[in-house]
């Protein structure tokens, strides 16, 4: 164990050293000196490995089955604690038993609980983005940059596995991974019931309360994706990568299959086609879209966890760069202007389209794991300027004061200090019931930084769309 820890620490040092120059020059180019300090120190310090315990779908009135789920969750919690996991003290009460912090060197990929789909590897700051979105049972949710699907799975659990989720991503390769994640965690399969819409596709189109979750994954550009949650598919059929209504869960399980063979793939694609019901394309679709607009249709919640420079998260950066790809990093491809060019435009395009897909009164969350104001506040400010119906909705309901507010109130200059002593103080404050983040420069947005609160970096903004005929 000690050897493993030493090896881990040495590797971290080596990689961190490698990253420093790239991050520093990225931050300088980003044009914000304050940010340059923040970004560079984001790669310092070691963030714990967070896990989230899977919450299984309730099985309705089946008391015995529900009790089994509770007991299983309890057993998993005990195993997590035994593995060195500790509770995250500032999690809201309803989530205090779902996120745990493990030592940074903990390898979850080899952990049976992870392999068996009982826990997710997910940073707790990402959990805050989902709490801010606040999905409710029966909602229709759009996740516009969904891969590999960790937030999507948490959204499904917050919805008690009822309603609809449409996951969109531009990368077919990443969607394949996302699809595996959904299968592993049984998202889209509620209450152990195999939904069989192939025989009656329209039956599950409008989810009634308690109806099982319908989840679909679509390969499309989030900047122009426009299919309503209840509409027939407006794009190419082959772009639907997964549709839980057609998915043969029981068959997969019975075969103990991980990868599908050609025959199974063909059968699934035929089932998907039937689910998509191409006969409903065309005029019907337009009619539905008009009706949706008149009735103030659209998604109840939209999540845009946008592609970004990943500079707030060393772990993400290393993943993006490729752990051993030091040559590429040294040669400047990683975080280079060339690689990041067009990113802000993409983020603005994603946010604009996300807002258009939102129903009046609906809630949208925009997040990135960058600390760059250009990719965060500026993108949000751009939308607020463009869209008269967009209102920035301060994220306050987590119920804890932000560390920086408390320091400011005490006159200790907590709002904008980059001082390490204060960062340490902040870590202690987390244990005393403060949220380990700051306000972003737009009021009510949140900025998590690794050095301030033992989490990966994450910016979160919440936007509401005004109700029809309303000023609010």
Ligand X SMILES: C[S@@+](CC[C@H](N)C(=O)[O-])C[C@H]1O[C@@H](n2cnc3c(N)ncnc32)[C@H](O)[C@@H]1O
Binding positions for S-adenosyl-L-methionine:
169, 305
- Name the H helices within 146-207: 150-158, 172-184
Residue closer to ligand X (CB basis): 26 or 403: 26
- Least Å distance, CB 384 to ligand X, is 21
Query: Are 434 and 403 a contacting pair, CB within 8 Å?
Result: yes
Nearer to ligand X, 221 or 230 (CB): 221
Rounded Cα distance between 377 and 380, Å, is: 5
Q: Which stretch binds ligand X (CB under 6 A): 22-30, 155-163, 170-178, 267-275?
A: 170-178
Among 27, 128, 159, 170, binds ligand X (CB under 6 A): 170
Host H or E run for residue 465: strand 458-465
Query: What does the DSSP 8-state code read for residue 219?
Result: E
Given the complex with ligand X, which of 108 and 223 has the nearer CB atom? 223
Smaller CB distance to ligand X: residue 344 or 406? 344
Smallest gap from residue 224 Cβ to ligand X (A): 9
Q: Which residues are annotated as a binding site?
A: 169, 305
Q: Are strands 458-465 and 446-448 parallel, antiparallel or unpaired?
A: antiparallel
CB of 5 to ligand X, least distance (A): 28
CB closer to ligand X, 268 vs 305: 305
Q: Compute the half-sphere exposure of residue 446: CA atoms within 13 Å on the CB side of its CA.
A: 34
Interface characters, 204-233, with ligand X (x: CB under 6 A)? -----------------xxx----------
CB atoms within 10 A of CB 383: 20
Residue 369: active-site member: yes
Per CB under 6 A, does 146 bind ligand X? yes
d(CA 177, CA 181): 6
- The three-class DSSP label of residue 37 is helix
Catalytic residue among 219, 369, 430, 437: 369
Return the number of other C-beta atoms located less than 10 Å from residue 290's C-beta: 11
Asked whether position 174 contacts ligand X by CB under 6 A, the answer is yes
Question: From the list 148, 207, 298, 373, which residue makes contact with ligand X (rule: CB under 6 A)?
Answer: 148
The yes or no reply on residue 149 touching ligand X (CB under 6 A) is: yes
Nearer to ligand X, 414 or 450 (CB): 450
Kindly write out the interface string for residues 268-307 of this chain, putting x where it contacts ligand X by CB under 6 A and - elsewhere: -------------------------------------x-x
Task: Tell me which long-range contacts 401-410 makes (C-beta under 8 A, separation of at least 24).
Answer: 401/434, 401/435, 402/434, 402/435, 402/437, 402/438, 402/439, 402/446, 403/429, 403/430, 403/434, 403/435, 403/436, 403/437, 403/438, 403/452, 403/453, 404/437, 404/438, 404/439, 405/439, 406/434
CA 239 to chain centre: 21
Phi and psi of 102, rounded to 5°? -110, 160
- Round to whole Å and give the CA distance between 414 and 391: 27
Q: Site for ligand X (CB under 6 A): which residue of 30, 169, 248, 449? A: 169
For the bound state, the minimum distance from the C-beta of residue 444 to ligand X, rounded and expressed in Å, comes to: 21
- Rounded Cα distance, 90 and 77, in Å: 18
Site track for ligand X across 308-347, x = CB under 6 A: --------------------------------------x-
Q: Does 157 bind ligand X (CB under 6 A)?
A: no
Q: Residues 341-380: x/- map of binding to ligand X (CB under 6 A)? A: -----x----------------------------------
Q: Which residues are catalytic?
A: 369
Interacting residues with ligand X (CB under 6 A): 145-151, 168-171, 174, 221-223, 305, 307, 346
């Amino acid at each position: 164990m000690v050897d493993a820890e030493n090896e881990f620490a040495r590797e971290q040092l080596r990689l961190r050293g490698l990253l420093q120059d790239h991050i520093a020059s990225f931050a300088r180019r980003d044009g914000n000196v304050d940010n340059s300090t923040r970004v560079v120190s984001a790669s310092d310090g070691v963030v714990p490995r967070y896990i989230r315990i899977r919450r299984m779908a309730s099985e309705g009135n089946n008391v015995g089955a529900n009790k089994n789920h509770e007991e299983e969750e309890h057993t998993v919690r005990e195993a997590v604690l035994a593995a060195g996991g500790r509770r995250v003290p500032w999690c809201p009460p309803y989530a205090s038993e779902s996120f745990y912090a493990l030592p940074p060197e903990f390898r979850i990929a080899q952990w049976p609980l992870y392999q068996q789909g009982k826990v997710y590897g997910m940073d707790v700051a990402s959990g805050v983005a989902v709490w801010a979105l606040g999905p409710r049972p029966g909602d229709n949710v759009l996740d516009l940059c969904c891969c590999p699907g960790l937030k999507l799975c948490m959204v499904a659990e917050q919805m008690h596995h009822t309603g609809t989720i449409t996951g969109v991503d531009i990368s077919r390769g990443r969607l394949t991974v996302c699809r595996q994640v959904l299968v592993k965690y049984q998202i889209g399969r509620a209450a152990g019931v195999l939904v069989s819409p192939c025989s009656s596709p329209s039956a599950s189109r409008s989810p009634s309360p308690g109806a099982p979750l319908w989840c679909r994954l679509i390969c499309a550009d989030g900047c122009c994706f426009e299919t309503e949650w209840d509409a027939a598919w407006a794009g190419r059929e082959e772009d639907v990568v997964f549709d839980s209504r057609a998915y043969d869960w029981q068959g997969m399980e019975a075969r103990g299959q991980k990868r599908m063979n050609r025959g199974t793939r063909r059968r699934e694609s035929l089932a998907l086609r039937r689910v998509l019901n191409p006969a409903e394309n065309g005029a019907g679709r337009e009619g539905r879209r008009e009706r949706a607009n008149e009735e103030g249709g659209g998604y109840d919640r939209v999540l845009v966890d946008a592609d970004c420079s990943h500079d707030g998260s060393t772990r993400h950066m290393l993943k993006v760069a490729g752990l051993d790809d030091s040559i590429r990093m040294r040669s400047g491809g990683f975080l280079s202007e060339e690689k990041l060019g067009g990113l802000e435009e993409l983020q603005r395009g994603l946010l604009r389209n996300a807002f258009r897909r939102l129903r009046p009164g609906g809630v949208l969350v925009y997040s990135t794991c960058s600390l760059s104001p250009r990719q965060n506040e500026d993108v949000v400010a751009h939308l607020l300027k463009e869209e008269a119906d967009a209102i920035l909705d301060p994220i306050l309901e987590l119920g804890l004061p932000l560390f920086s507010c408390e320091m400011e109130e005490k006159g200790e200059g907590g709002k904008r200090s980059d001082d390490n002593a204060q960062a340490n103080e902040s870590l202690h404050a987390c244990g005393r019931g403060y949220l380990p983040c700051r306000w972003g420069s737009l009021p009510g947005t949140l900025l998590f930084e690794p050095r301030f609160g033992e989490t990966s970096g994450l910016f979160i903004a919440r936007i509401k769309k005004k109700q029809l005929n309303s000023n609010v």
